[in-house]
């Protein structure tokens, strides 16, 4: 049976002036309101504070929080972030709506990154599902909970492509690939925003961090990104364009500089590309303090200068630099800044408030009864388990998995075995600390009553206090738990060893120069293997790790990521075969940090090698290949690809070619395979990657069944930002490759005339 899958060219549509449609009724209301506003009131709309005050408490009388209260009442605050809950947001809203002259409502923003109260796998983990419906559903549930708890706006999805797992924030995105990142960006925007921004369960999405934040030097956060216009256009921007095309209401700029210009002050990024070429009519918020940080960058002389540069560059709202409120009115009055720029920024903020329905009912998201009835609903918890299951990636299996539920004794060992907190990850919203189902709890709930489950920590991963924004301190010396762990392993039929990261080891500000397992984990692995060879390693982590030791000695490895509220049950579902793993890596795992940055979609270079002598593009002490490549993931069944062909040897720009393969489930149980299509443009006006993902399809097959999977390629799918500075496909020879990961593919040639 043929399955035709049209490639979503929208996901990588050529950036063009696709101005987001405006609602004339709203535009008239915005015009009318702007005409009533003073310059100070317009600037007030561009001012955003974090909730450094507690609106549910008695109004402070002086200093910091008191000033904020006064400014809200005076109409000098447009938005607040981190005000949590229906009650707190209602009280903060009352300050604005019942006291300010024009009664313009606030809107409330929060980092709803992978769940609000019900927590889903960290975004990189969720991306491993390659399941767009599941990813959209997760964002939809997160929006439903957050909107019931007073939020109007989430600072998500983070759509930064990154090819450097040293960067702690690789955990927050969709990994190393542009095409997959674009598809996921669209799914998350649709999930958050739903069908109508004015719906009571919708959140305005925020595509971030614009742009190239994931290309920071040495993976260090907040850093210098020195990339070409080609890399910016071909690798970094398409997920942002996909988010815009999906209707993203806001963008957030980024802390990094790009080509010597901080993104917050980049006219090229924000005015030329985003608001110009792409016709973005939404609102750009700065990242936290990023306007003021242009002083540290050495790009602004002082806060007034920074305010001038940022507004000029198209940063509409000032998150916590406290630059716009004190300085923009004076800059306009002195003639340094054209009032039109302030009007445009205020228009974008007010447009969004009208679209959110806030002028109809400013309290619509602040309903305590609805909040109580919505958070943590059973159906959301069930969804969290299902999506976590789909996110898991089977990296190795010598046949040990799946486990039997009636095995005699299972030893569940390791620092993360009974950790109920780390599975929530770093950006955990209002997920309650220590509320996740631990791996131990999941296994205990899954096995037969006769099975004995023994638990031993072995060695703690972190010592002392940990949390936001505290540095994790790792245990590198306390082996006192080893004997009990070895004893538990010795007496068990099988060992499940939970290794990986502390929740606060990846995420913002958590870049690391060494991405091997921290502390005593590799030692613990060896000690356990020395007494029992039947060891399943379950990895719980936010970033790809360098785990050659685990790969060499463990018979089975399951990548579970920080899997969210239902982690333990979802992992147990996979360990015992109730779910057949189908996840595929959204970011390759390196063998060593020295290979980074690395992507499967690398250039060929002039000396691709391997050659007999040393003169080719490589390290002499390690292969170039990752330990596990992008798109890799095993199953409890096996799949074979055959009959790979192109429907024609060539096609022209008005036509298309179909690339197809026959997929067969050659194993003994049903399973889902993510069939991946890669393309190589052999010769271009600029050098082109050795392969680029251009399509995928999740195919479920019963044992022994086969299915023809067909992808249709058009010229638009081959387009890139050329040397001529145009987004177009160039005629010439191409290769198409199909397989179950980016390494093991079968290829076929075709040409574009
Ligand atoms: C942080 C992050 C950004 C987040 C914002 C608000 O520094 O860079 O992603 O949305 O501040 O918390």
Span(s) in the chain for CATH 2.60.40.10: 639-752
Mean pLDDT of 336-349: 98
Query: How much is the average pLDDT of 702-711?
Result: 98
Bridge partner list, 373: none
Report the b/e string of 718-752 with b at 16+ CB within 10 A.
Answer: bbbbbeeeebebbeeebbbbbbbbbbebeebebbb
The answer to whether the beta carbons of residues 599 and 631 sit under 8 Å apart is: no
Q: Is 271 exposed, middle or buried (0-12, 13-18, 19+ CB in 10 A)?
A: middle
Per DSSP, the three-state class of 35 is helix
Residue with CA closest to ligand 1 atom 12: 111
Tokens of 391: 């996110």
**Span 158-191, pLDDT tens digits:** 999 999 999 999 999 999 999 999 999 999 999 9
Homologous superfamily, domain 8-40+111-316+337-371 = Glycoside hydrolase, family 3, N-terminal domain (3.20.20.300)
Share above pLDDT 70 across residues of the chain, in percent, rounded to a whole number: 96
At 385, list the tokens. Answer: 């388990």
If you count DSSP H runs as helices and E runs as strands, how many of each does the chain have, helices first? 21, 30
Residue 7 has pLDDT above 60, yes or no: no
Predicted local distance difference test score (pLDDT) of residue 57: 66
| pLDDT, tens digit (0-9, with 9 covering 90-100), for 206-256 | 999 999 999 999 999 999 999 999 999 999 999 999 999 999 999 999 999
pLDDT above 50: residue 1? no
Q: Which regions of the chain carry the CATH code 3.40.50.1700?
A: 391-591
The mean predicted confidence, pLDDT, of the chain is: 95
CA distances to 174, 597, 743 from 542, rounded to whole Å, are 12, 17, 23
Instruction: Determine contact, residues 182/12, Cβ cutoff 8 Å.
Output: yes
Specify the pairing of strand 47-50 against strand 79-81: parallel
Instruction: Report how far ligand 1's centroid is from the alpha carbon of 391 (Å).
Output: 25
Q: Helix, strand, or coil here: 89?
A: helix
Most distant CA pair in the chain, distance = 81
Beta-carbon contacts of residue 517 (< 8 Å; ≥ 6 apart): 499, 500, 545, 547, 549, 550
Among 84, 284, 119, CA closest to 204: 284
The four Cα atoms 315, 319, 323, 324 give a dihedral, to 10 degrees, of: 60
Q: What is the mean pLDDT of residues 259-286?
A: 98
CA distance 166 to 156: 22
Quick one: pLDDT band at residue 465, thresholds 50, 70, 90?
confident
Which residues in the chain are classed under CATH 3.20.20.300? Answer: 8-40+111-316+337-371
Give the residue-averaged pLDDT of 642-662: 98
pLDDT at position 55: 63
Ligand 1 pocket at CB < 6 A: 81, 111, 155, 208, 287-288, 508
Separation of alpha carbons 465 and 467, rounded Å = 7
- Ligand 1 centre from 508 Cα, in Å? 8
Which CATH architecture is the domain 391-591 placed in?
A: 3-Layer(aba) Sandwich (3.40)
The residue whose CA has the least distance to atom 8 of ligand 1 is 287
Quote the pLDDT of residue 60.
Answer: 67
Task: Return the closest-CA partner of residue 562 out of 466, 666, 426, 434.
Answer: 426
Give the residue among 413, 636, 683 at the shortest CA–CA distance from 538.
Answer: 413
CA atoms within 13 Å, Cβ hemisphere of 364 = 20
Confirm whether pTM is higher than 0.85: yes
Q: Which fold has domain 639-752?
A: Immunoglobulin-like (2.60.40)
The torsion angles phi and psi of 136, rounded to 5 degrees, stand at -65, -40
pLDDT band at 66 (very low <50, low <70, confident <90, very high): confident
Ligand 1 pocket mutation, candidates 111, 222, 427, criterion most atoms within 8 A of CB: 111
Residue nearest to atom 6 of ligand 1 (CA): 288
Helix (H) or strand (E) holding 147, with range, is helix 132-148
> Going by CA atoms, what residue is nearest to atom 10 of ligand 1?
155
Q: Which residues are catalytic?
A: 287
User: Distance from the CA of 727 to the center of ligand 1, in angstroms?
Assistant: 31
Atom of ligand 1 nearest to the CA of 156: 10
Q: What pLDDT does 67 receive?
A: 86
CA–centroid distance, residue 110 to ligand 1 (Å):
9
């Amino acid at each position: 049976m043929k399955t035709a899958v049209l490639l979503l060219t929208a996901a990588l549509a050529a950036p063009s002036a696709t101005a987001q449609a405006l609602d004339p009724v709203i535009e008239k209301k915005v015009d009318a309101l702007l005409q009533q506003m003073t310059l100070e009131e317009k600037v007030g709309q561009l001012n955003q504070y974090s909730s450094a005050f507690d609106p549910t408490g008695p109004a402070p009388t002086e200093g910091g929080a008191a000033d904020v209260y006064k400014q809200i009442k005076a109409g000098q605050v447009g938005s607040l972030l981190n005000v949590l809950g229906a009650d707190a947001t209602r009280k903060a809203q009352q300050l604005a709506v019942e006291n300010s002259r024009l009664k313009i409502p606030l809107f409330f923003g929060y980092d709803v990154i992978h769940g609000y109260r019900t927590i889903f796998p960290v975004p990189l983990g969720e991306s491993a599902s390659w399941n767009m419906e599941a990813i959209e559903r997760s964002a939809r549930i997160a929006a439903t909970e957050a909107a019931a708890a007073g939020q109007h706006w989430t600072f998500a999805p983070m759509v930064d492509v990154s090819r450097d797992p040293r960067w702690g924030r690789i955990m927050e995105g969709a990994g190393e690939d542009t095409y997959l990142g674009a598809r996921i960006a669209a799914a998350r925007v649709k999930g958050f925003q739903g069908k109508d921004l004015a719906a009571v369960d919708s959140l305005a999405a925020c595509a971030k961090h614009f742009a190239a934040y994931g290309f920071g030097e040495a993976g260090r956060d907040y850093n210098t990104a020195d990339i070409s216009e080609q890399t910016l256009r071909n690798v970094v921007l398409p997920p942002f364009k996909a988010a815009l095309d999906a209707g993203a209401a806001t963008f957030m700029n980024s802390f990094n500089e790009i080509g010597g210009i901080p993104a917050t002050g980049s006219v090229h990024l924000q005015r030329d590309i985003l608001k110009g070429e792409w016709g973005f009519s939404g609102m750009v918020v700065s990242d936290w303090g990023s306007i003021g940080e242009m002083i540290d960058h050495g790009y602004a002389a002082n806060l007034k200068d920074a305010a001038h540069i940022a507004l000029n560059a198209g940063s509409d709202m000032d998150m916590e630099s406290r630059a716009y409120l004190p300085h923009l009115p004076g800059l306009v009055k002195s003639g340094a800044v054209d009032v039109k720029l302030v009007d445009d920024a205020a228009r974008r903020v007010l447009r969004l408030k009208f679209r959110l329905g806030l002028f109809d009912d400013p309290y619509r998201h602040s309903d305590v009864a609805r909040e109580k009835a919505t958070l943590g609903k059973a159906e959301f918890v069930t969804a969290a388990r299902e999506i976590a299951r789909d996110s898991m990636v089977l990296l190795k299996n010598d046949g040990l998995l799946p486990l039997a539920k009636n095995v005699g004794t299972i030893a569940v060992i390791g620092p993360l075995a009974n950790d109920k907190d780390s599975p929530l990850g770093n950006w955990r919203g209002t997920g309650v600390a220590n509320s996740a189902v631990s791996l131990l709890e999941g296994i205990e709930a899954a096995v037969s009553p006769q099975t004995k489950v023994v638990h031993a920590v072995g060695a703690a991963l972190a010592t002392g206090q940990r949390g936001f924004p505290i540095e994790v301190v790792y245990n590198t010396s306390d082996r006192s738990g080893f004997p009990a762990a070895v004893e538990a392993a010795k007496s068990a039929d099988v060992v499940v060893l939970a290794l990986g990261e502390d929740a606060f080891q990846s995420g913002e500000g958590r870049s690391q120069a060494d991405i091997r397992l921290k502390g005593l984990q590799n030692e613990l692995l060896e000690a356990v293997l020395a007494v029992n060879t039947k060891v399943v390693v379950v990895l719980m982590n936010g970033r790809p790790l360098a785990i050659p030791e685990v790969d060499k000695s463990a018979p089975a490895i399951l990548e579970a990521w920080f899997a969210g509220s239902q982690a333990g049950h979802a992992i147990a579902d996979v360990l015992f075969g109730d779910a057949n793993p189908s996840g595929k890596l959204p970011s390759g795992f390196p063998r060593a940090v020295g290979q980074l940055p690395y992507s499967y979609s690398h250039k060929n270079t002039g000396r691709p090698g391997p050659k007999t002598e040393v003169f080719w593009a490589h390290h002499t002490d390690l292969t170039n290949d990752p330990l596990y490549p992008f798109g890799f993931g095993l199953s409890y069944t096996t799949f074979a690809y055959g009959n790979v062909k192109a429907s024609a040897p060539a096609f022209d720009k008005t036509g298309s070619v179909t690339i197809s393969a026959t997929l067969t489930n050659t194993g003994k149980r049903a399973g889902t395979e993510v069939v991946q299509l890669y393309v190589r443009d052999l010769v271009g006006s600029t050098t082109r990657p050795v392969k680029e993902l251009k399509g995928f399809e999740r195919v479920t097959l019963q044992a022994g069944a086969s299915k023809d999977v067909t992808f249709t390629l058009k010229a638009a799918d081959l387009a890139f930002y050329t040397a001529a500075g145009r987004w177009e496909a160039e005629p010439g020879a191409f290769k198409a490759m199909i397989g179950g990961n980016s390494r093991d593919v079968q290829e076929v040639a075709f040409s574009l005339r």
